Amino acid sequence: MRMVDLIEKKKDGLEHNEEELHFIIDGYVKGHIPDYQMSAWMMAICFQGLTMQETILLTKEMMYSGEILDLSSIHGIKVDKHSTGGVGDKTSLVLGPMVAACGVPVAKMSGRGLGHTGGTLDKLESIPGFCIQIEKDDFIKQVNECHFSIIGQNEHLVPADKKMYALRDVTGTVACIPLIASSIMSKKLAAGSDAILLDVKYGNGAFMKTKEEAKKLAQVMIDIGHSLGKDTRVTLSNMSQPLGNAIGNSLEVKEAILTLLGKGPDDLFQLCLQSGIQMLLQAQKTKSLQEARQMLMKVIEDQSAFHVLCQMVKSQGGNEKYIQHPELFENAKEIIPVYSIEQGYVKDLKARDLGLVSMKLGGGRASIDDVIDYSVGLILNKKIGDYVQKGEVLLYVHTNHELSSELKDEILKAYVFQNEYVEKPTLIDEVLQ
């Protein structure tokens, strides 16, 4: 077999078989196929697409390119959760403890943030002492004991995706549904859980700009999951504005703590509640939506979800006093209010642009080896649907440097106003399975 013939085949819109896909993925991981041929093939996929059968076969080839985690010594049905990424998305820090407190084991691997989106690992590392790299046996022991652990992505997991994703990033081949679906699902399937809940986001701050695109991606991932016998469900959620009010690492941890204590922003709590209901159903804790909701409300009211977070932080070497007393987190040197120069209802709040502002303050990475300043970020005071008077505070900038006029301008431009009433957006539109 020759790679050049397979590139031609895909360019002509023809279907690959299992043997051909194995040749491509195996050859690329082993270094027999060079980057230039792989990128030509992936570009052909961007134009010609893949059939569902090809997408499933590609996912399997990618999944088996490395280690498959064996979580069978964790008791119970393990449900993994994945979000396609957004701004202010601290869901794992709230949803994980809520579901774990209901007795569902959550053994999660997360990634770091890049560009406008923040990563769960960076947020956790803002807690002094917290360790994201623990031995597999300790990870399993911790999940058996407190039902919850989040660790860094195992580097032996899906090496094919690591190489392909880095190449896609620089060859304009990221935004392609079969390539995104196989990338996400190969990692989720290799991570060893029994069921998977995916939060596919759409809107300004997300990969998928429209609900229709998000739905297509969701359906492909569900079909992949089902073909491998995993209960796979998707919440389609609107990322037209940041989730919650906090953007930035320790600011988001503090907001997650507040939410676990029942005092957080409603949009974040509702998303965690809706997702948690699905996860309890997937873990077969109950068959009733109503009962799942009651179980989740109870672990907030009796603070058992909050205690799971404390226990998890302690087990992973973090200083749990920061969770019990969030005022211990170091504050940025300055907290600067940004005042509105317009009035009206907030119609749009560009999540991506605010994510980039937080990154430029030092709260995120422009490139992979940038060092993060955990204390900086933004706290939103106004969101879509709020009425704003001229001179009212839109948001607070937490910074260790002066706020440049360019950044202030970017913040002001992220808010779009109109005179007519604006309804607050619904967050979860649909659950697909």
Which residues of this chain interact with ligand URA, rule CB under 6 A? Answer: 165, 174, 179-180, 183-184, 207
Q: How near is the Cβ of 320 to ligand URA at its closest, in Å?
A: 31
> How do the residues of the chain divide into helix, strand and coil, expressed in percent and rounded to 5?
45, 15, 35
- Residues with Cβ within 8 Å of 378's Cβ and at least 6 positions away in sequence, in order, are 246, 247, 248, 251, 354, 357, 358, 361, 395, 396, 397, 398, 411
For residues 116 and 87, give the distance between their C-alpha atoms in angstroms, rounded to a whole number: 7
Nearer to ligand URA, 99 or 176 (CB): 176
Nearer to ligand URA, 213 or 342 (CB): 213
What is the chain's length?
433
For residues 402 and 192, give the distance between their C-alpha atoms in angstroms, rounded to a whole number: 46
Q: How near is the Cβ of 179 to ligand URA at its closest, in Å?
A: 6
Q: How near is the Cβ of 181 to ligand URA at its closest, in Å?
A: 8
Nearer to ligand URA, 205 or 344 (CB): 205
User: Is-contact 272 238, C-beta < 8 A?
Assistant: no
Nearer to ligand URA, 179 or 277 (CB): 179
Nearer to ligand URA, 62 or 338 (CB): 62
Q: How near is the Cβ of 162 to ligand URA at its closest, in Å?
A: 10
Give 342's DSSP letter. S
Q: How near is the Cβ of 57 to ligand URA at its closest, in Å?
A: 17
Catalytic residue among 162, 187, 215, 350: 187
Question: 228: number of CA atoms within 13 Å, CB side?
Answer: 27
Rg (CA), the chain: 22
- Residues with Cβ within 8 Å of 125's Cβ and at least 6 positions away in sequence, in order, are 132, 249, 372, 374
Catalytic residue among 80, 161, 199, 231: 161
- Tell me which residue has its CB nearest to ligand URA: 183
Catalytic residue among 82, 90, 188, 215: 82
Q: Which two tokens stand for residue 269?
A: 């709590």
Catalytic residue among 110, 182, 183, 193: 183
Q: How near is the Cβ of 292 to ligand URA at its closest, in Å?
A: 28
Quick check: is 275 catalytic? no
For residue 17, what is the enclosing H or E element?
A: none
Q: Which two tokens stand for residue 323?
A: 């969770």
Nearer to ligand URA, 184 or 305 (CB): 184
Quick check: is 209 catalytic? no
Quick check: is 82 catalytic? yes
Of the candidates 49, 55, 85, 42, the residue with the CA atom closest to the CA atom of residue 171: 42
Catalytic residue among 60, 147, 168, 230: 168
Q: Which residues are part of the catalytic machinery?
A: 82, 161, 168, 183, 187
